[in-house]
Amino acid sequence: MSAAQAQRVAFTDKDKVEFIQCERPNQPLEPNEVAGRTLCTLISAGTELATLAKTTPEAPCFPGYAAVFEVESVGQSVNDLKPGDVAFSMGGHRSFQRHNRQDVLPVPKGLAPEQAVFARLMNVTWSTLVTTTARPPAKVIVTGLGLVGHLGAKIFASCGYEVLGVDPVAARGELLQGTGLRGIVPAVPLGDPEWQDQVDLVVDCSGHEKAVLDGCKIVRKRGEVVCVGAPWKRYTEIYAHDLIHAVFHKYVVLRSGWEWEVPHQPVNFVKNSLFGDMAGALKWIEAGRIKIDGLYELRAPKDAPAAYESLRKQTCPKLAIVFDWRKV
């Protein structure tokens, strides 16, 4: 059976990005599958840049984290989506999508595809929200205000927590002005009586070991410090003893922010699921509870090499880049 021509973004070597031709198989859908043309995809800068740095010609990679597509066909068992509907998936940077129905979410009517894709990155800190023991109006510090931390700070603030954002890059903090945070500061405010030993939860989205150590030092006894940001490299000469000392004497719950701790789909006796939470994120974006305006720039997929280079060199003026596939 012949295949239609399609396009995708590929990592073909270390720090080498290409926009390539590929084939879109046209074999009949399985009964529970959904397929269609891609409208937008979102780059997850941390994960994708780390993958790009390790790619070799012997093991090329086809990246992607979140996609919104227009449904063109559905399997015979799918009765709640139809051609013309718009859907969300954790799909790759390619001009077509094909997924199991349970791995697809309807996008609320009227929600722009370039905003809907952000439900995926909201889900990263949403997993911390649904697993933490801290409850509103507890004090929460979010360290690292890149895209994941930015969205996380907004999520916790919207739920009634008293949130302090921390990032040494002033421009990142400025993006959160007027969004309900208690404040934005360049460093964890150790010794400040308003925060010292008063914080129930620190959500580290920086992957920086000093942010984690400072988090352990500032939380109240038995407070939580959750490592959401991946520690891609070593930044300091901090000794493990410094961290262990803080954890031991503050009775800190130091844990991973592994989002997959939450199951993909609803299961008995477990609260929340990844797809259930992402469905909630779509509704929050659509309702304006979490505002996405100003966080991203739209790029044509054919400009992928330049897009990744701007993220890698930190010259992109926005927190994120969304590929617009509608004119491909």
Question: Is residue 1 scored above 50 in pLDDT?
Answer: no
What architecture does CATH give domain 121-261? 3-Layer(aba) Sandwich (3.40)
How is domain 3-118+292-324 classified at the architecture level of CATH?
Alpha-Beta Complex (3.90)
CA separation for the pair 269, 254 (Å, rounded): 25
How far apart CA 176 and CA 67 sit, in angstroms, is 25
State the pTM of this model: 0.94
Burial 110-149 (b: 16+ CB within 10 A, else e): ebbbbbbbbbbbbbbbbbbbebbebeeebbbbbbbbbbbb
**Predicted confidence band of residue 3 (pLDDT cuts 50, 70, 90):** low
Give φ, ψ of 247 to 5 degrees: -65, -45
- Lowest model confidence (mean pLDDT) among 96-100, 137-141, 229-233: 229-233
Per-residue pLDDT tens digits for 297-321: 999 999 999 999 999 999 999 999 9
15-54 pLDDT, tens digit each: 999 999 999 988 899 999 999 999 999 999 999 999 999 9
| Domain boundaries along the sequence of the chain | 3-118+292-324, 121-261
Residue 271: predicted pLDDT: 86
Q: Where are the beta strands (DSSP E) in the chain?
A: 3-13, 16-25, 33-42, 66-74, 86-89, 96-100, 105-106, 139-143, 162-166, 183-185, 199-204, 219-227, 253-256, 296-299, 320-324
